[in-house]
Amino acid sequence: MKFRPCIDLHNGKVKQIVGESLTAAASQGGVIENFVSAYDSAYYADLFKRDELTGGHVIMLGPGNEEAALSALREYPGGLQIGGGITADNAALYLENGASHVIVTSYIFRDGELNLDHLRRIVSEVGPERLVIDLSCKQRDGKWYVVTNQWKSFSSFEVNEANLRELEQYCNEFLVHAVDVEGKRTGILESLVSLLGRAVTIPTTYAGGARSLEDLKLFHELASGRLDITIGSALDIFGGALSYDEVVAYCKKFES
């Protein structure tokens, strides 16, 4: 189990927001911000480089974040992945500027379906070894489904062992967002963690709800140490109460 750090960018600034509030921003007066940093993206990239944390992700939440994203990648070349608006047309730009991998979401999930043409196109551009597939998901009728359209719409793609195995041939890693708890600091979604721990055979990072060392312990047990984890708004470096240094030290114990 590795700790994967994150740098979430919104309007060019490092922020931690409640993910689902992005979908209601226009009609309800804006996103719910847990934290807006006084530091820029390069500051956090340098911090993660100092602590030798690899495989973290920079996520661009909407337009206007490209410059900040590139700044982070250049500060820590090879140490960070990049996601948010990535397509086959722009992926090479971010790889050339230091990203270890590109993360795709909406580009390959279109109109409620997995778009294999888009998936194969980006694989042909960057190779499966540099591609991470983001599976943002919600539960419905006891099953987990990828959600699209800023997390408003359920796709037909069920997150289960058979479908994950099929996708694994196209990518190097999965990043799985538990949408219902993203940014809410309410604890991990245990059933999703257990499912992923049983089903995946490639590196997979879980995101959503972790808030304490107790959560990390439970996460490790449920996943049998087979998953990595990212934590955002709960960390003290992002305005929360959970010590970043303690999380780094705790997870380092499990790295082989």
Mean pLDDT (whole number) for 27-36:
72
Structure confidence by residue, pLDDT tens digits, 73-118: 999 999 999 999 999 999 999 999 999 999 998 999 988 899 999 9
pLDDT at 25: 47
Residue 23, pLDDT > 60, answer no
**Is 11 inside a domain boundary?**
yes
Q: What is the percent of the chain with per-residue pLDDT over 90, rounded to a whole number?
A: 85
Per-residue pLDDT band for 31 (boundaries 50, 70, 90) equals: confident
The reported pLDDT for the residue numbered 33 is 85
Return the higher-pLDDT residue of 33 and 247. Answer: 247
Quick one: CA dihedral 11, 12, 17, 20, positive or negative?
positive
Domain harbouring 224, CATH code: 3.20.20.70
- Between 91 and 24, name the one with better pLDDT: 91
d(CA 94, CA 214): 36
Is 237 a domain residue?
Answer: yes
Confidence category of residue 149, pLDDT binned at 50, 70, 90: confident
pLDDT for the residue numbered 5 = 98
CA atoms within 13 A on the CB side of 100: 16
pLDDT given for residue 18 in this prediction: 65
Res. 184: pLDDT tops 90: no
- Give residue 44's domain range: 6-252
Lowest mean pLDDT among 162-166, 181-185, 193-197, 233-237: 181-185
Give the count of domains, the chain.
Answer: 1
Q: How confident is the model at residue 34 (pLDDT cuts 50, 70, 90)?
A: confident
Question: Does position 24 have pLDDT exceeding 60, yes or no?
Answer: no
AA identity, residue 248: V
Residue 1 lies in a domain: no
Q: DSSP assignment of 69-123, as one string? A: HHHHHHHSTTTEEEESS--TTTHHHHHHTT-SEEEESTTTEETTEE-HHHHHHHH
153 lies in a domain?
Answer: yes
Once rounded to an integer, what is the mean pLDDT over residues 12-17? 93
Read off the amino acid at residue 150: Q
Residue 140 above 60 pLDDT? yes
145 alpha carbon, distance to own chain's centre:
16
Is the pLDDT assigned to residue 27 strictly greater than 50?
no
> How deeply is 173 buried, as exposed, middle or buried, from its count of CB atoms within 10 A (0-12, 13-18, 19+)?
buried
Closest by CA position to 16, among listed 232, 176, 220, 164: 232
Between CA 251 and CA 256 the distance in angstroms is 11
- Give, in order, the Cα–Cα distances in Å from 75 to each of 2, 49, 68, 230: 21, 8, 11, 20
> DSSP characters for 148-189?
ETTTTEEEEEE-SHHHHHHHHTT-SEEEEEEGGGTTT-S---
Q: CA 14 to CA 12: how far, in whole Å?
A: 7
